[in-house]
Structure 1
């Protein structure tokens, strides 16, 4: 009885130890979860604070804009400011959209060229395999006929008196059969090569080449130059660039009449802006000129050195030659007009 009581007491003690150990483990897990929740709470609090700051700045800008709109001259200047920002955003979106279209066109062109080259090479090799196959077929038929002919001679030479003749024919049959086996193996090999070649998978397109990406980038730079020239009168391009980085409270374009005239001029230039297709056609003449000017730091680089294009010729003919001496000292790449640098393919 005493032994049983001691055993029960020990089992009870072990059970309590296990329960304490389990509670201790649960406490550790709870501490970990609490630490995670505290970090998450801090992150959300910081995010909320950032959002409140953004909201506060937006509210301040709105109040500032409301104050400006209450003043006729400031209201007119604010209108021009946001109109210029619209010009900048419109040109940037147009350039980005044309970049996607040019990339798609170049990718399709290179894929087709690669496929055509693969098919042409495949066709030429298949023609060689077919020629070898026909030769192997002829050899197989010839050796097969030779074996059959010798067997026929062997069968037509019965009797003891034809012993030596039959022996000679048997030797010839053995040699002919070896030749036939070789011809059959060669035929099978030719068939296998032709099947393998015909079942080759199309090459995996690894992306637009460096040359292709350079071509696209030069076209985008040429388009950016055309956009600059289109909005160059009354320095709309330069004003739009300033508006993209400045605040509305920092600008002053003139009195109400000046702003009204500027507003009308900007609207006219926006309406007369060529479509994407026409813009590409106008920029195409500049490609040959830009190719001569472009410099690259390394052979694998696709973005030219910004200093390659220090000015924009006003007129470039079909062969890429500059007509006349007129140009503007603007570097659309270095000055990041229409955010062209971020659009170029790397």
Structure 2
């Protein structure tokens, strides 16, 4: 049947109306799908253009770097630069590992403390429940003994002249039986409470507390300071920091002999940093001194104010006119030495 016949006046079978509606619905869905696919195509083309531009840019940089490394005059500077970058990454990884170890130790310590506190509180509550159960059981046993005596006394009262006495005694027995029921109910309830308390699991760990995070962060900051002091010889710490904000093409490290001397220092420094046997001598004293002076913006902050940790002097070393030290001193938080902020607990 043609579209003209569909639109022609006159009654149409319900099946034909249904087919016509289905046709329009399918057409609307196809248009929506076509629009979605076109939008997706535009996005993919844009991503492809961006990737191509990035590839061209990286290719140009790679060619420029090859020329820079191949030049006998600039090659040694590039070698020093990338060895300094390697020193920075290795030291940053060392600080991150140290922070993770401290975080785990602090979390385990606080979890053990929480478990001990939970056990102590539970033992105290169990002891209190035991006293209450013993008291309720003793009362129930006393009432049971009194009931037996009065029931025996009631059994021995015979004759109509004891009617009033039997009635009064029966009322007393009923009242004491009610008290005994209450005492036994209390014993049962307290015993259930004790069983529930004994089976109670400790609450889940809430994570490291604010004080615990401050303890960890202070130690990590002190560790970063110690590494700066350890790598201050030859200005390696400051030179390594410069590689995070300057390009290789912008750096000069003096004569060929000075570059060779720096690379020798870098080999020794990298060997020390990558050594698994870390030298932590003096770290506790540095950490204690830091804790005595740090300040925080609020009670909820875990990272100290940058000014409160102070600066540490670094020896000045000249490399062909390049000052390899900060005259005002190094503040590991302000300068974010060894990617320190990534290692700290917020």
> Using the alignment, how far apart are the partners of 1:151 and 1:280 within structure 2?
82
Q: How does 1:42-121 map to 2 (within 5 A)?
A: 42-121=42-121
Q: How does 1:177-326 map to 2 (within 5 A)?
A: 177-273=177-273, 278-279=278-279, 282-312=282-312
Cα distance 1:199–1:162, how it changes in 2: closer, same or farther (>3 A)? same
User: Are the equivalent residues in 2 in contact too, given 1:95–1:220 (CA < 8 A)?
Assistant: yes
Shift of 1:35: 1.7
SS of 1:73 mapped into structure 2: coil
Gaps spanning 5+ residues in structure 2: where?
A: 1-8, 315-326
User: Are the equivalent residues in 2 in contact too, given 1:223–1:279 (CA < 8 A)?
Assistant: no
SS of 2:273 mapped into structure 1: coil
SS of 1:207 mapped into structure 2: coil
TM-score (ref. length: structure 2):
0.86
> Size of the alignment, in residue pairs?
327
More divergent stretch after superposition (20-29 vs 71-80): 20-29
SS of 1:244 mapped into structure 2: coil
User: Are the equivalent residues in 1 in contact too, given 2:311–2:329 (CA < 8 A)?
Assistant: yes
Runs of 4+ off more than 6 Å:
none
SS of 2:74 mapped into structure 1: helix
> Using the alignment, how far apart are the partners of 1:58 and 1:38 within structure 2?
30
1:195-223 deviation line (CA, Å, top 9, x unaligned): 33223332122221111111111111111
> Using the alignment, how far apart are the partners of 1:151 and 1:17 within structure 2?
93
In proportion to residue count, which structure has more helix?
1
User: Are the equivalent residues in 1 in contact too, given 2:90–2:273 (CA < 8 A)?
Assistant: no
> Using the alignment, how far apart are the partners of 2:130 and 2:277 within structure 1?
47
Gaps spanning 5+ residues in structure 1: where?
A: 1-8, 315-326
Shift of 1:29: 1.6
More divergent stretch after superposition (259-268 vs 301-310): 301-310
Shift of 1:57: 2.2
CA-based RMSD of the aligned residues comes to 2.5
TM-score (ref. length: structure 1):
0.86
Shift of 1:300: 0.5
